[in-house]
Amino acid sequence: NDLQDIFDATDDTTNSLDEKYEFFVSHIKQTAKHHFPLDRDTNRKRKEWLTDDILKVIDEKSKAFIQWQNNRGTRLESKYHKNYKRLSKTVKSITERRQIEYWDEVCEDIEKSIRNNDPVTAFSIIRRLKGGGKRDNNTPVQDKSGKVLVNPKDTLDRWREFFHETLNVTTSTGQHLIDQIQIPTLSAIEEYRQNMSISIDEVRKALKQMKLRKAPGSDEITADILQAGGEPVIQWLFKFFTEIWENEQMVKEWSMTTLIKLYKNKGDRKICDNYRGIALLNITNRIDQLWIKSSL
């Protein structure tokens, strides 16, 4: 049981919170890489050799994996495991067969164009296969005075300056306004409720509420991966969040966020004001925050 190893390897009370989280992330990523290999191709368009039939079987395989994980330790585990292995072999077989057919078709088209003295068509096919496109990462930007920065370090410093000023706006509030804020008095029952630790059902509910197919944070773990982990992941997160709550500690990595820039699709691309920033938080941190928010 791959995911159950998380419990066995992190059940050492001498491990710090950060060490436990680091091992959890590493273990989850290794398991996900084994079962769901990523396509590192920079071309995000659907592969030309992919067919609807292949995608359908891939989807069935993903669902079978989730069923298997959610039934670990039950009498149905063997049944779902066999179904997952069968679909994995099917995906591999039909994918390899279709790729061979596709490249045979492409090579035939290129050879036919060359035989017909049509190099334009031949090279257009090759360029299409090569793919790729222009990225905003290398777009030069202007400093505050309007000077164009082309040096990568200067460009990075400008983005750091821009987002620092954007996210750290100086404001002032009069003390008389602060004094007017009424602090509500909590009843003993409400105070007890808010001080209660997280339950496993709350972890399960929070994880289920996470949106799928969203960009991950710095740990590169998505909600899709955690949901696919099933009950073993839920059990581990429950124990981990409980430890955070009882010891009043926080994972150091959660204090950082990945900030990416997105062009607003209007104005000069060299002007930083024409971009907006998106903060990518770690999914585990967001699950913990969602529970805390719901308990207030």
What sections of the chain are H helices per DSSP? 5-10, 17-35, 52-70, 77-115, 119-130, 152-167, 175-179, 188-195, 200-209, 223-228, 230-247, 283-295
Q: Are residues 7 and 85 in the same domain?
A: no
Amino acid in position 43? N
Q: Are residues 205 and 288 in the same domain?
A: yes
Is 88 inside any structural domain?
A: yes
Residue by residue, pLDDT tens for the chain (296 residues) are 566 666 665 555 657 888 888 888 888 888 888 777 655 544 455 677 888 888 889 989 988 988 888 888 888 999 999 999 999 999 999 999 988 888 888 888 888 878 888 776 777 777 777 664 445 556 778 999 999 887 888 999 999 999 999 988 777 778 888 888 888 887 888 777 777 888 899 999 999 888 887 878 888 888 888 988 888 899 999 999 999 988 888 898 888 888 888 888 788 888 999 998 888 888 888 888 887 777 66
Q: Are residues 58 and 25 in the same domain?
A: no
Q: Are residues 25 and 58 in the same domain?
A: no
Is 139 inside any structural domain?
A: no
Provide the token pair at 203.
């972890």
Q: Are residues 119 and 73 in the same domain?
A: yes
DSSP 3-state assignment of 34?
Answer: helix
What total number of domains does the chain contain?
2
CA–CA gap between residue 273 and residue 221 (Å, rounded): 30
Q: Are residues 193 and 278 in the same domain?
A: yes
Q: Are residues 11 and 65 in the same domain?
A: no
Where do we find the tokens 């990075």? Answer: 156
Q: Which domain holds residue 202?
A: 1-39+182-295
Cβ neighbours of 173 (radius 10 Å) = 7
Where do we find the tokens 């591999």? Answer: 92
- Please state whether the predicted TM-score (pTM) of the whole model is above 0.75: no
Domain boundary among 90, 115, 130: 130
Domain boundary among 102, 130, 158: 130
CA–CA gap between residue 133 and residue 156 (Å, rounded): 22
CA–CA gap between residue 84 and residue 63 (Å, rounded): 9
251: left (phi over 0), alpha (psi -120 to 50) or beta: beta
Is 207 inside any structural domain?
A: yes
DSSP 3-state assignment of 160?
Answer: helix
Q: Are residues 33 and 120 in the same domain?
A: no
CA–CA gap between residue 63 and residue 180 (Å, rounded): 55
Q: What is the pLDDT of residue 145?
A: 93
117: left (phi over 0), alpha (psi -120 to 50) or beta: left
Q: What is the pLDDT of residue 86?
A: 94
CA–CA gap between residue 205 and residue 230 (Å, rounded): 12
Is 144 inside any structural domain?
A: no
Is 142 inside any structural domain?
A: no
Is 283 inside any structural domain?
A: yes
